[in-house]
């Protein structure tokens, strides 16, 4: 970072790490140690993308180390100065408008979401859901999202998108790492008759989330599973009879999901690909 990029190549811009929570790093170092050594090496922005517990540990470690380690404190100040310099000369909205003056970001995001969503697996019975039906949605929701992913549309409440299409939804939000109390409460609330939607988020990274979804699918095998981010999650749940892959979790994808449930979008591309492979 310093010898090659800064000294030899004379790069003076911002250096951003990859995800410090990756398995290759965790094999020998804690996230806190990785963060400190990355900062010491010259990184300006540290990414820790999927583990809220590790994120809090890293923040606490950075705060403690800053007070005790002069080198780290100076590195932080150097990175902050570099970030401030870049931000002072950046006007993103004006730049976008000058390049694409006729582009409506909200409409484009929704168009992409509608084209990207697909029915990966279907029993042919759960979709579409009758309009004006009651719906119970279990939604695993990240505590912190990437700002740029949510900067065009902020209405990320799935209930609002379902209501627009006539449904009567009840949404039960869960963290990515559900606790025992939340699991117990959900178990007592899971309805036995009305349609159930399970909206997962990176279940392959969170064993507790996967286990809870498996339990819910055992109790309600007719539940619709919505993969809200990474399509790899679809392979984790062979028990699910109906799977929708949205490839996103922000407002455009939530609206597209509501439209699929209502039968307004029937993208079956992934299902056809899976059948050809079989």
Residue 110 lies in a domain: yes
Q: What pLDDT is attached to residue 154?
A: 42
Pair 34, 59 in one domain: yes
Domain boundary among 53, 88, 123: 88
CATH of the domain at 231: 3.40.50.1700
Residue 94 lies in a domain: no
Question: In the block, which residue shows the tokens 């690909």?
Answer: 273
Domain boundary among 88, 115, 147: 88
DSSP string, 198-225: EEESSGGG-HHHHHHHHHHHHH-TTPEE
The whole-number mean pLDDT for each consecutive block of 10 residues of the chain, a chain of 278 residues, reads 90 90 77 91 90 87 93 93 84 57 74 92 86 90 58 65 92 89 84 90 92 92 93 94 93 93 74 36
Residues 8, 27: Cα–Cα separation, whole Å: 31
Residues 16, 13: Cα–Cα separation, whole Å: 10
Domain boundary among 55, 88, 121: 88
Number of structural domains in the chain: 2
Residue 256 lies in a domain: yes
Residue 97 lies in a domain: no
Assessment of whether the complete model's pTM goes beyond 0.85:
no
Cβ atoms of 48 and 20 closer than 8 Å: yes
Cβ atoms of 15 and 45 closer than 8 Å: yes
Pair 41, 143 in one domain: no
Name the residue among 46, 84, 49, 80 with its Cα closest to residue 62.
Answer: 46
**Enclosing domain of residue 20:** 2-88
Pair 127, 22 in one domain: no
Q: What pLDDT is attached to residue 137?
A: 94
Pair 13, 133 in one domain: no
Q: What pLDDT is attached to residue 273?
A: 34
Pair 45, 124 in one domain: no
Alpha-carbon distance values, 140 to 27, 128, 269 (Å): 28, 23, 25
């Amino acid at each position: 970072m310093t010898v090659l990029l800064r000294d030899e190549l004379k790069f003076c811009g911002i250096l951003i790490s990859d995800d410090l929570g990756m398995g290759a790093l965790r094999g020998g170092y804690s996230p806190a140690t990785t963060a400190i050594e990355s900062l010491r090496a010259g990184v300006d922005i540290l990414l820790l993308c999927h583990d809220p517990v590790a994120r809090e540990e890293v923040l606490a470690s950075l705060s403690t180390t800053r007070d005790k380690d002069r080198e780290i404190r100076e590195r932080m100040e150097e990175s902050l100065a570099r970030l401030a310099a870049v931000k002072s000369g950046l006007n993103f909205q004006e730049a976008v408008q000058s390049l694409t003056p006729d582009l409506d970001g909200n409409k484009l995001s929704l168009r992409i979401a509608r084209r990207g969503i697909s029915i990966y697996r279907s029993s042919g019975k759960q979709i579409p859901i009758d309009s004006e039906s009651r719906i119970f949605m279990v939604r695993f929701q990240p505590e912190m999202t990437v700002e740029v992913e949510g900067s065009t549309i902020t209405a990320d409440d799935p209930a609002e998108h379902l209501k627009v299409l006539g449904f009567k939804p009840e949404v039960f939000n869960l963290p990515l790492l559900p606790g025992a109390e939340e699991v117990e409460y959900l178990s007592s609330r899971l309805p036995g008759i009305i349609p159930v939607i399970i909206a997962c988020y990176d279940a392959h990274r969170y064993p507790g989330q996967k286990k809870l979804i498996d339990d819910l699918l055992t109790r309600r095998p007719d539940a619709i599973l919505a993969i809200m981010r990474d399509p790899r999650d679809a392979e984790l749940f062979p028990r699910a009879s109906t799977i929708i892959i949205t490839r996103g979790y922000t407002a455009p994808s939530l609206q597209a999901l509501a439209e699929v449930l209502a039968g307004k979008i029937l993208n079956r591309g992934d299902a056809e690909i899976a059948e050809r492979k079989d």
